[in-house]
Amino acid sequence: MRRLGFTVAALLVVVAGCTQSAGHHATGFKTSPRPLKGAIYFSARELATFHTAEQSLIQRCMHGAGFRYEVIPPGDTVRVAAADPYQILDPKRAATDGYGLTAIAFDRLRRGRQPTDPNDALLAKLPATRKEAWHLAFSGDIRRRLTIKLPDGQSATSPADGCMFQAHRKIYGADWDTIFYRLQALTNDIVIRALKDARFLAAQRAWSACMADAGVHAVTLDDPRRQIQDQLVASNGTAAALRRIGKQELTVARKDNTCQQRAGLADAAKVAQVSAETALAGSHETELTQFRKLRAEALKQARAISP
């Protein structure tokens, strides 16, 4: 049994590679198609709107319960929204940001020991009983949980009270999680089928051969990212080390993008996705109709709440 988080970004699952998939392509980004016409994907602006609205509601709720609460910044929603389910690169981002791995490492170095959640500093000053009460107000009573049956037969739990739950319910409504998870499972199934499609695999082999000619050994699309990530993990994390790895990341990403275009990977992903969706046709129309309505209502609600 799994426990669920509530933010939109946290609810999305990636099925290819190690990045998180969470959005319609951001303005100006060239990416492969999204399954189900992007039903469960969100733009950078939408992600920021949802996050800001949730944080605002949580803060009000916590203040009402007698606690301070510092709003958590939305983070890099542009990077999250640009992540591609088939790992197709955008030429501009590949040339200027690579895979985004070193940039993230630089951001961590810049922040140093500064916590991502500003509430950590608040909690550190509270006595144990007060800290426990803060968590109870925020997360709710662990003995009171909602259970959601997932399409794969598993179940997941989420809080049934607390400020986080109230904020989520206020924005998304009571039916969001169940329908979202059904469509998420379907989206993942489509991507997995597309990645196994003979046409996509043929394009990936052509890409691999092109990368070898360019001096990069890579069999799958995730290999270049993994190689850069391994270097980051093995490095001493200094600015000099990150700059060195960053230059290599940009070089590899540019070669990756060139080889993807030569191999026709984006077109292969599109054809493979259409085939996968056709095989599953008719199994999701009711959920899609319901979710599109819920999505529009949630976005309208979030926009009204966001300061």
pLDDT tens-digit map of 77-120 = 988 888 899 999 999 999 999 999 999 998 888 877 555 788 99
Please check the confidence at residue 10 and state whether its pLDDT lies above 70: no
Place of tokens 């606690």: 67
So what's the pLDDT on residue 282?
75
Residue 162 sits in which domain range? 2-305
Question: How far is Cα 93 from Cα 89, in angstroms, rounded to an integer?
Answer: 7
State how far the alpha carbon of 113 is from the alpha carbons of 107, 194, 225, 283, in Å.
11, 41, 26, 48
Q: What is the number of structural domains in the chain?
A: 1
Q: Output the pLDDT for position 307.
A: 63
| Residue bearing tokens 């700059």 | 243
Phi, psi of 193 (to 5 degrees): -65, -40
Question: Beta strands 2-3 and 155-159: pairing type?
Answer: parallel
- Rounded to an integer, what is the distance from CA 132 to the centroid of its chain? 30
Local confidence band at 163 (pLDDT 50, 70, 90 cut-offs):
very high
**Average pLDDT for residues 2-28, to the nearest whole number?**
37
**Stronger pLDDT, 280 or 45, i.e. the higher one:** 45
- Confidence band, pLDDT 50/70/90 cuts, at residue 147: confident
Residues 190-207, mean pLDDT to the nearest whole number: 97
Bridge partners (DSSP) of residue 147 are: 157
How many other C-beta atoms can be found within 10 angstroms of the C-beta atom of residue 260? 27
Asked whether 189 and 179 are in contact (CB, 8 A), the reply is no
Q: What is the pLDDT of residues 215-248, one digit of tens each?
A: 999 999 999 999 999 999 999 889 999 999 999 9
What average pLDDT does the segment 3-24 reach?
Answer: 37
Digit-coded pLDDT (tens) for 114-139: 557 889 989 999 999 999 999 999 99
54 pLDDT exceeds 90? yes
Percent over 70 (pLDDT), the chain: 88
What's the CA gap between 29 and 13, in Å, rounded? 21
Q: Which tokens go with 28?
A: 């100006």
pLDDT of residue 28: 42
Better-scored residue on pLDDT, 2 or 212: 212
pLDDT at 295 over 90: yes
Q: Is the pLDDT reported for residue 4 higher than 70? A: no
- The larger pLDDT score, comparing residue 114 to residue 200, is at 200
- Average confidence (pLDDT) over 254-267: 97
CA distance 17 to 38: 19
Which among 24, 17, 148, 163 has a CA at the least distance from the CA of 80?
A: 24
